[in-house]
Amino acid sequence: MSTGEFARGLEGVVAAESAICSMEGGLRYRGYDACRLAARKTFDEVAYLLLEGELPEERQLADFRSSIATNATLPASLAALLRALPRDSSPMDVLRTAASTLGTCDALRFDNSRAANLQKSRQLLGQLPLALAVFWRAPEGNALPNWRADASIAENILTLLGRGEVDAESVRALDMTLVLYAEHELAASTFAARVVASTLSDLHAAVTAAIGALKGPLHGGANERVIEWLRQFRSPQDAERWALEALAEKRRVMGFGHRVYKQGDPRAEFLREPCRQLAARVGQQPFEEIASRIEAVMLREKQLHPNLDWPAARIYYYLGLPIPLYTPLFVLARVAGWCAHVIEQHSDNRLIRPRARYVGPPPRDLP
């Protein structure tokens, strides 16, 4: 692209070289098909892959989980702040505040080396779920369970959020969504993180900016909206009428379409069957029938396919997770990708500083 050429929203502009993620011919993390990773690997293994560049061997995975467990603690001042926040605070604001505050007291806060950032990344993988749980469960007044080094990140998250004893099927369902949310090239939040990192700011600052970007409804939040309006329908026929009215009135239907995946999001297609299986296990087949009817309408009328938020939202709903925590769960997964991008940006840095096309008044003299 020549200097001065304008691309609205930077669409189609190549702004970085990366070895982390590819979206050409399907989504791949470090060369591995993301859906196959979701089918066969845990989020822990995929987070390690994103950060370290290779899948872990058994001993490396055990050490990784042990490191996360050891660092899954919060400064007393942050825990007190989280409990004191207004109860109507957005959980996304809570996570943003937690990430920023953790950056003020991290022992490695002045160290931007690769080794230090890898350590900070491991810490955040345990600290952010813990921060979310401390805020969300503060009214209960009970101590939270300790992070278990012998359990996966997905199992620890479900336990921290109050699911108690969790079954393997529930853990596996959450695990698959975390894997598929973990990374997605230069999405808005990842680009925000890389812009901050390009100034040679620290990893916590970049993650804080990324959370702020993900909070916006055009990036994160769609999974919450999906369930909020799916719950209003009584039947597939009711859902179809609503969808047709929404399309006629040119209202946005959350959970459909993607700027990159014009022929369908492979992540959504992969989660289709696990979502149906989970629905059958918890007695939510009618909900799936409603969702299927809307899918049919969107494809027939607009040739729009579901994106990842469509099945992921339903999986979280079938797992009994509170709706305000759906986008924060996105954060708990994507932090692995964000940290990988910060480390990569720092490894071969150039300040990200695009230009703007001026459309204001021409030069004019003061009166």
| Active-site residue list | 258, 309
The kind and range of the H/E element at 33 are strand 32-33
Task: Tell me if 214 sits within 8 A of 330, measured CB to CB.
Answer: yes
Closest CA to 161 of 172, 150, 173, 153: 153
Instruction: Tell me the C-alpha distance between 268 and 256, whole Å.
Output: 10
Q: Angle of helix 114-136 relative to helix 43-52, nearest 10 degrees? A: 150
Q: Can you say whether residue 276 is alpha, beta or left, with left for phi > 0 and alpha for psi between -120 and 50 degrees? A: alpha
- Report CA torsion sign: 356, 357, 360, 362: positive
The SS3 of residue 306 is strand
DSSP for residue 250 = T
The SS3 of residue 22 is strand
For residue 21, what are the β-bridge partners? 29
Closest CA to 216 of 338, 92, 337, 128: 92
Task: Tell me if 116 sits within 8 A of 41, measured CB to CB.
Answer: no
Instruction: Tell me the C-alpha distance between 212 and 327, whole Å.
Output: 12
Instruction: Tell me the C-alpha distance between 337 and 31, whole Å.
Output: 14
Report the alpha-carbon angle 2-7-11, nearest 5.
120
DSSP for residue 256 = B
DSSP for residue 139 = G
Instruction: Tell me the C-alpha distance between 189 and 22, whole Å.
Output: 17
DSSP for residue 324 = G
Instruction: Tell me the C-alpha distance between 50 and 178, whole Å.
Output: 13
